[in-house]
Amino acid sequence: NSDSDSNESDTESEKESETREEPEISKENEKVLTYDEGNDIVVMEQKTELPIEIKEDQQQKPKVKQAEPVPRKPAVYVDVIRKEDIQKARLKLPILAEEQQIMETINENFVVILAGETGSGKTTQVPQFLYEAGFALKKQIGVTEPRRVAAISMSRRVAEEMNLSTREVSYLIRFEGNVTDDTKIKFMTDGVLLKEVQSDFLLSKYSVIILDEAHERSVYTDILIGLLSRIVPLRHKKGDPLKLIVMSATLRLEDFTINQRLFKNPPAVIKVNARQYPVTIHFNKRTNENYLKEAFNKAVKINTKLPDGGILIFVTGQQEVNSLVRKLRKTFPLRHKSKLLEKDEEMKNERDANYTSDDEDIENDLKKTLKKSKKLKIIPQIDLDDYSVPDDTENNSDTDLSDSEEDSQAPLLPITNAQPLWTLPLYSLLPSHKQQKVFEAPPPGCRLCVVSTNVAETSLTIPNVKYVVDSGKTKVKMYDKVTGVTSYVVDWTSKASADQRAGRAGRLGPGHCYRLYSSAVFNDTFQLFSIPEIQQKPVDDLYLQMKCMNIDKVVNFPFPTAPDLLQLKSAEARLETLGALKGGEVTALGRAVSKFPVLPRYGKMLALSHQQDLLAYTICLVAALSVQEVLLEVPILQTSPEEKKQIRQKWSATRRQWAGQGNSLFLGDNMVLLKAVGAAEYANSQGKLETFCAENGLRQKAVVEIRKLRQQLTTVIKNNVPESEVIVDPKLPPPTDLQAKLLRQILLAGMGDQVAKKISPEEVKEGEDKAKFKYAYHANNMEEPVFLHQGSVLKKTLPEFVVYQEIYETNKMYMRGVTAIEPEWLATYVPSMCNLSEPLLTPEPWYNPRTGKVHCTVSGTFGPQAWPLPNIEIV
């Protein structure tokens, strides 16, 4: 099957927003490379134990006082009564000793950059300092995080530390939040604050804004810095000053500090050094392609051979995290294997004693294990994978876990003579109550092991980690600036980020970092820093939002690092095609579109359907299109290849059935999406969402997100068009044939720049295999052919013209989210891309006396490749 190979990477495409850090390797941090002959490894040591100190960044730039004196706030002190153990833990944080100086600097300056190693206490403590100094008495303290995980988890932590309720220390992310009228400290994602700037440019409900994790260089944080560099002086002028605090790890601060366009007067810089113990870095001698297997082996070795201390493993995505967690849980079960053969009920009790009840993963694993072991009566066959047991005869001393031996190929066996391993997953899409677990102490007698994506690199500090296992890999979403083709690539991370990962091992005491790649690869292949996100993705939504904020020349906007001109130009061109901009000015449609928290093309679909009595369907479709990975391609469960195949066949049969007939079928993959959501909501109303999702290959968390986004979009519409009547029944009945047709037209209106035309057999070049081009299309802006995906319900129909949601590249270029369209619609819905003739004289124009209008026919072509259009009658 020629297409199936694309599937694995397709489902891997969940976004783990893998932005990386860019540490500035300071003198004190200098590392020494030595070759340890005895053990035949290269060792890199962080030599010095860093003192806890805080200092102005004097060599770089002396603190420059703002031109105008900053009005000093009268000293206020708001009491916070903290629990004793919390206060004790706080006092150990490096940043606490520096409270006074930090607050003085904030009082004397409008803009302060606070740089400090991860774990020094920036995120949890600075909002508390500000609260105690009275910043929340009249207005709110706003804190932005690039990651939702961090916004939720930090708001909880700070509420707990301050002994305040979540009414007072709250969070707001795209789909949810617990903000109230009493909120004093508000954690939010940077995207949320950017939306707020749109409706209240001066951010008048805040007394201070903290932009956290600025080194992650998320697009929204970058833009917020630019905007706030203008908002702060405006608020000062109004006599209602706003403070800006930019918090960052100590990396590439120059992008913020000596950027003349950003801040005329360089902002004050404070550096806090965290207590960092030396971390010994062990490189593998060889770089094994299969880093998952390597990571597993390394974790097994650490747990069987090395002294107590948590393990933190970095891999690239959710699937990798889950599969590694499963393997480790099976290898180091929390109970003795004989217990597995006991009755279900006893097992449940035993599990409940060990785990919190919500951990379905473990539960499922156990059930499966139990079933299989009962059936087979032999435990070694519980899993059919190729991971090996550690070579127990190997007897290396100390912490060198050399990678030189070929590990024997043996089935996965529970290892029961080692310490039980408390293995937890961590990634952005994990439900937050599960994420929270990494902060809790493991059950007595167990060693903590967290398998994480780079979420754990800087946003969250996991306590008690002594060993870091670093795959050195990260998943990046690549995007072609011209064609917009996206692909997920697993690539080496940067040196800066690898060092950041290693640093996680030195929080508690001296630690060890096992790099699953050679020092040669590190030195020769790793980039120094990673590229800021803003230079790596389409900027259409930002461009439009900025235009709506009356930022006329986006090119001149004070970005910390500007996107390149090509990116800005193509975004502008797409917005013009969409009709959101006209001659560089925002149109009425553009304004309407910008109100929606979705991509402009989806916003346009919403704006259009308002006139068509279709709103409930468009809302549902747009929500589903905006959430990632709703329909899975490959079962995530650990099953045999045959079983996987059967499941996939069953899923596609269901999806074909969902697609239906007529206009419904032509709506294609998007019809499947609509039906899937409707059916899932129906299942949910019967209390059967989980089984439904598992049986039909839906990601359950996606279904919940879609529901929330539908509510949110409905609210936006109600607020803007008060007379609108939107049905808010989540269980949407399937659209009628006519509605399906209108939805196809609406999709075309939103995605008119993404039209593709079937490649006919005659077009296939001499000598090429025609069969290969059976599912091939020409996209209007690309040379290379693109293909219908294996899972597309339109594979049987092969319509002449389609629109697609996205092209992504794996082994070939594939179209995702495909809908059939009729060529005669192009002139109506994508006029800006059509080149129309003068009215044709045959047949002659005719006058309709009933309407008083003249009708005539035109011919024309579509798009840059001048595809001929059928003759069109115009009025």
Q: Which residues bind Mg ion (CB under 5 A)?
A: 122-123
- Residue 750's binding partner out of ligand CDP, Mg ion, none, with CB under 5 to 8 Å set by partner kind: none
User: Would you say the C-alpha torsion 750, 189, 250, 497 has a positive or negative sign?
Assistant: negative
Question: Closer CB to Mg ion, residue 144 or residue 754?
Answer: 144
Q: Between the CA of residue 526 and those of 421, 523, 725, what are the distances in Å?
A: 32, 6, 55
Q: What is the dihedral of CA 820, 826, 830, 834, to 10 degrees?
A: 140
Question: Closer CB to ligand CDP, residue 105 or residue 153?
Answer: 153
Least Å from the CB of residue 212 to Mg ion? 6
Q: Which of 429, 406, 22 is nearest to 252 (CA)?
A: 22
Give the x/- contact pattern for ligand CDP in 67-106, rule: CB under 6 A: --------------------------x-------------
Token look-up 């102005």 returns: 56
- Residue 600's binding partner out of ligand CDP, Mg ion, none, with CB under 5 to 8 Å set by partner kind: none
Counting beta carbons within 10 angstroms of the beta carbon of residue 655, is it exposed (0 to 12), middle (13 to 18) or buried (19 or more)? buried
Least Å from the CB of residue 251 to ligand CDP? 13
Give the x/- contact pattern for ligand CDP in 514-533, rule: CB under 6 A: --------------------
CB within 8 Å of 502: residues ≥ 6 apart = 279, 281, 468, 470, 513, 515
Separation of alpha carbons 611 and 747, rounded Å: 15
248 in contact with ligand CDP (CB under 6 A):
no
For residues 198 and 545, is the Cβ–Cβ distance under 8 A? yes
322 in contact with ligand CDP (CB under 6 A):
no
Give the range of 114-122, 329-337, 594-602, 651-659 binding ligand CDP by CB under 6 A. 114-122
Least Å from the CB of residue 515 to Mg ion? 24
221 in contact with ligand CDP (CB under 6 A):
no
Question: Closer CB to ligand CDP, residue 119 or residue 390?
Answer: 119
Separation of alpha carbons 433 and 149, rounded Å: 10
Question: Closer CB to ligand CDP, residue 149 or residue 228?
Answer: 149
Which pair of tokens denotes residue 71? Answer: 């009005």
Give the range of 122-130, 256-264, 312-320, 618-626 binding ligand CDP by CB under 6 A. 122-130
437 phi, psi to nearest 5 deg: -65, -25
Neighbours of 485 (CB within 10 A): 20
Least Å from the CB of residue 123 to Mg ion? 3
Out of 20, 122, 473, 481, the residue judged to bind ligand CDP by CB under 6 A: 122
600 in contact with ligand CDP (CB under 6 A):
no
Question: Closer CB to ligand CDP, residue 462 or residue 693?
Answer: 462
Least Å from the CB of residue 62 to ligand CDP? 25
- Residue 93's binding partner out of ligand CDP, Mg ion, none, with CB under 5 to 8 Å set by partner kind: ligand CDP
For residues 678 and 732, is the Cβ–Cβ distance under 8 A? yes
For 219-260, the three-class secondary structure string (H helix, E strand, C coil) is HHHHHHHHHHHHHHHHHHHCCCCCEEEEEECCCCCHHHHCCC
Least Å from the CB of residue 149 to ligand CDP? 11
Least Å from the CB of residue 460 to ligand CDP? 7
Q: Which residues of 89-121 are buried (b: 16+ CB within 10 A; e: fewer)?
A: bbeebbbbebbeebbebbeebbbbbbbbbbbbb
Least Å from the CB of residue 91 to ligand CDP? 12
Least Å from the CB of residue 464 to ligand CDP? 9
**Interface of this chain with ligand CDP, residues 142 to 201, rule: CB under 6 A:** 153, 157
Question: Closer CB to Mg ion, residue 272 or residue 869?
Answer: 272
Question: Closer CB to ligand CDP, residue 118 or residue 497?
Answer: 118
35 in contact with ligand CDP (CB under 6 A):
no
**Interface of this chain with ligand CDP, residues 424 to 483, rule: CB under 6 A:** 439, 461, 463
Least Å from the CB of residue 245 to Mg ion? 12
For residues 273 and 120, is the Cβ–Cβ distance under 8 A? yes
Question: Closer CB to ligand CDP, residue 123 or residue 229?
Answer: 123
Question: Closer CB to ligand CDP, residue 256 or residue 291?
Answer: 256
Q: Which helix (H) or strand (E) holds 874?
A: strand 867-874
Q: What share of the chain is helix, strand, coil (3-state, %, to 5)?
A: 40, 20, 40
Out of 7, 105, 109, 124, the residue judged to bind ligand CDP by CB under 6 A: 124
120 in contact with ligand CDP (CB under 6 A):
yes
CB within 8 Å of 669: residues ≥ 6 apart = 791, 792, 793, 794, 805, 816, 817, 818, 819
Separation of alpha carbons 165 and 149, rounded Å: 19
For residues 414 and 333, is the Cβ–Cβ distance under 8 A? yes
Question: Closer CB to Mg ion, residue 42 or residue 172?
Answer: 172
Out of 6, 7, 123, 319, the residue judged to bind ligand CDP by CB under 6 A: 123
Out of 66, 118, 530, 696, the residue judged to bind ligand CDP by CB under 6 A: 118
Q: Where are the alpha helices (DSSP H) in 781-843?
A: 826-829
For residues 276 and 117, is the Cβ–Cβ distance under 8 A? yes
Counting beta carbons within 10 angstroms of the beta carbon of residue 653, is it exposed (0 to 12), middle (13 to 18) or buried (19 or more)? exposed
For strands 279-283 and 511-515, give the pairing.
parallel
- Name the residue number minimizing CB distance to Mg ion: 123
Give the x/- contact pattern for ligand CDP in 400-429, rule: CB under 6 A: ------------------------------
CA-angle at 472, arms to 471 and 474, nearest 5°: 100
Residue type present at position 704: V
Question: Closer CB to ligand CDP, residue 93 or residue 673?
Answer: 93
Q: Which of 387, 401, 438, 391 is nearest to 307 (CA)?
A: 401
Token look-up 């005669």 returns: 824
Q: Which residues of 538-574 are buried (b: 16+ CB within 10 A; e: fewer)?
A: bbbbbbbbbbbbebeebeebbbbebbeeebbebbbeb
Separation of alpha carbons 174 and 329, rounded Å: 33
Q: Which helix (H) or strand (E) holds 369?
A: helix 360-376
Separation of alpha carbons 841 and 715, rounded Å: 50
Q: Which residues of 707-724 are buried (b: 16+ CB within 10 A; e: fewer)?
A: bebbebbbebbeeeeeee
Question: Closer CB to Mg ion, residue 213 or residue 407?
Answer: 213
Q: How many chain residues touch ligand CDP (CB under 6 A)?
A: 15
Out of 13, 46, 116, 287, the residue judged to bind ligand CDP by CB under 6 A: 116
Least Å from the CB of residue 157 to Mg ion? 10
Out of 20, 54, 102, 119, the residue judged to bind ligand CDP by CB under 6 A: 119
For residues 756 and 815, is the Cβ–Cβ distance under 8 A? yes
Which pair of tokens denotes residue 254? Answer: 């120059």
Question: Closer CB to ligand CDP, residue 155 or residue 712?
Answer: 155
Least Å from the CB of residue 252 to ligand CDP? 17
**Interface of this chain with ligand CDP, residues 680 to 719, rule: CB under 6 A:** none
Give the range of 111-119, 332-340, 528-536, 729-737 binding ligand CDP by CB under 6 A. 111-119
Least Å from the CB of residue 500 to Mg ion? 12
Least Å from the CB of residue 99 to Mg ion? 16
- Residue 560's binding partner out of ligand CDP, Mg ion, none, with CB under 5 to 8 Å set by partner kind: none
Question: Closer CB to Mg ion, residue 459 or residue 790?
Answer: 459
Least Å from the CB of residue 255 to Mg ion? 18
Least Å from the CB of residue 122 to ligand CDP? 3
Least Å from the CB of residue 197 to ligand CDP? 24
Q: Which helix (H) or strand (E) holds 684?
A: helix 669-685
257 in contact with ligand CDP (CB under 6 A):
no
Binding site for ligand CDP (CB under 6 A): 93, 116, 118-125, 153, 157, 439, 461, 463
